[in-house]
Amino acid sequence: MAERERAVPVSLPSLTGLRWTAALMVFLYHVHIVEYFGGRAQDAITFAFGAGNSGVSFFFVLSGFVLAWSSATAPTGRRILTFYRRRFARVYPLHLVTAGFALVMAVVFAPDTEQGLRPLAANLALVQSWVLEIPYFQGLNPVSWSLACEAFFYLCFPLLLWPLRRLGPRSAWVVAGLALATVVAIPTVWDLGGVPDGTVWARDFFPLVRLPEFVLGIAVAELVRSGRWCGPGLTASLALAMGGYFLNYQADYAFRSVACTVVGFTCLIAAAAQADLKGEPSPWRGRLSVKLGEVSFAFYMVHILVIRTGEHLFGGHPKLPLWDGGLLVLAAAFSVSLALAWALHTWVEVPGRRLLLRRWRGTSAASRPAP
């Protein structure tokens, strides 16, 4: 497939399965943050999952890859509006419902805390990550900050893909290299400039800072599509991703969110896609993996609300012994999160998307003049 481009996108089920792995990483990272465990068990959780927030970086690269792969042609004209409508229908119903859950939790658990209208409006408009103040980018459902980044990525996507397709597949190598260099340069500048960790943490939520990861995913998808990708295979890519992951928590703070893992994650995404294209074995292509991947967005959106509810019930960080309540609480949080995710996926995410797209199609058809 050296020079051959794929006019019709091919399904890549392994990438759906990988979405679940990334969502689980973020879940376990938040278990580490809330400190369900105490003592040596917490130390082990910190070592294993203290870098789990890098799963969001995986989502950003994967998002760029999947959108570019599924776009047979770059969106132009009316297709841009159609693209935006589909993206809105894909994420907003679930965001709206989980934001409602979070608002109810805030009223029930902290009735004396004043709920700012501006942070609420910013959250509902998916622009909260543009304001580097905690009540904004960590307000309501904290994980929804990444949706504000994704909304910005979606807005930029047609402007990014169109020139890349026009310039040809060779230009994708240049774009991928520039995106990767930017991902590494940002924390390097912060580290050399002595930027405080708290400031670095806040800037990690800023959409412009995270855009290079999305661009990298687009460029790599174009390389895979044109047959010019020559990265490592699935096994080597997995080893590279795991090596970067465990290096992550040992690195200086500025490099933890993205820089240590981005190469391994990108290679893993490309290798999994190629494994599907070639029919090679993949651990993420099984029926269970794909099904979990389908509910991963709902799981990602609801899990922190479940974890925070448990934290409130315990009156703070539980810090339980591993065999004396810790594992039981972890299993309960995971089970409730997964059950709610399945329900939200089945009764909110999928029907909400269909309803919105059906309304838009009906409106579009009604607005056209009769023949």
- Is residue 367 very low, low, confident or very high in pLDDT (cuts 50, 70, 90)? very low
Q: Do the beta carbons of residue 61 and residue 213 sit within 8 Å?
A: yes
Whether pLDDT at 7 is above 60: no
Is residue 266 situated within a structural domain? yes
Is residue 204 situated within a structural domain? yes
Is residue 368 situated within a structural domain? no
- Tell me the backbone φ, ψ of residue 158, rounded to 5 degrees: -60, -35
> Based on the number of CB atoms within 10 Å of its own CB, is 251 exposed (0-12), middle (13-18) or buried (19 or more)?
middle
What's the pLDDT at 317? 85
3 state SS of 110: coil
State the sign of the Cα–Cα–Cα–Cα dihedral 46, 47, 48, 49. Answer: positive
* pLDDT tens-digit readout, 318-346: 888 877 788 999 999 999 999 999 999 99
User: For residues 164 and 63, what is the distance between their CA atoms, to the nearest angstrom?
Assistant: 17
Least confident of 65-74, 117-126, 155-164, 259-268: 65-74
What average pLDDT does the chain have? 91
What's the pLDDT at 318? 84
Domains: count for the chain: 1
* pLDDT tens-digit readout, 133-167: 999 999 899 999 999 999 999 999 999 999 999 88
Domain that holds residue 93: 13-352
Is residue 234 situated within a structural domain? yes
Q: Do the beta carbons of residue 160 and residue 175 sit within 8 Å?
A: no
3 state SS of 320: strand
User: For residues 155 and 149, what is the distance between their CA atoms, to the nearest angstrom?
Assistant: 10
What's the pLDDT at 370? 42
What's the pLDDT at 363? 57
Separation in Å, CA 248 to CA 53, 181, 226, 254, 255: 10, 18, 32, 10, 7
**DSSP state string for 5-51:** --SSPPP-HHHHHHHHHHHHHHHHHHHHHHT-B-HHHHHHHHHHHTT
The residue among 55, 46, 54, 47 whose CA lies nearest residue 19 is 55
Is residue 4 situated within a structural domain? no
Task: Output 3 or 123, whichever has higher pLDDT.
Answer: 123
* pLDDT tens-digit readout, 78-135: 889 999 999 999 999 999 999 999 999 988 887 666 668 999 999 999 999 999 999 9
- Is residue 360 very low, low, confident or very high in pLDDT (cuts 50, 70, 90)? confident
Is residue 6 situated within a structural domain? no
Whether pLDDT at 41 is above 90: no
Percent of residues, the chain, with pLDDT higher than 90: 73
What are 246's two structure tokens?
């465990």
What's the pLDDT at 11? 87
What's the pLDDT at 365? 47
* pLDDT tens-digit readout, 342-358: 999 999 999 999 999 98
pTM of the model: 0.93
Ranges of H-type helices in 50-138: 54-70, 78-109, 117-124, 134-137
User: For residues 25 and 51, what is the distance between their CA atoms, to the nearest angstrom?
Assistant: 8
- Paired strand residues for 37: 320
Is residue 362 situated within a structural domain? no
User: For residues 51 and 29, what is the distance between their CA atoms, to the nearest angstrom?
Assistant: 7
* pLDDT tens-digit readout, 204-235: 999 999 999 999 999 999 999 999 999 999 99
What's the pLDDT at 366? 47
Other beta carbons within 10 angstroms of residue 344's beta carbon come to: 23
Is residue 294 situated within a structural domain? yes
Helix axes 78-109, 117-124, angle to 10 degrees: 140
**DSSP state string for 187-244:** HHHHHHTT--HHHHHHHTT-HHHHHHHHHHHHHHHHHHHHT------HHHHHHHHHHH
Mean pLDDT across 11-30: 96
The separation between CA 9 and the C-alpha centre of its own chain, rounded to angstroms, equals 22
3 state SS of 54: helix
Amino acid in the structure at residue 254 = A
Whether pLDDT at 259 is above 50: yes
Residue linked to tokens 């019930």: 313
**DSSP secondary structure letter of residue 129:** G
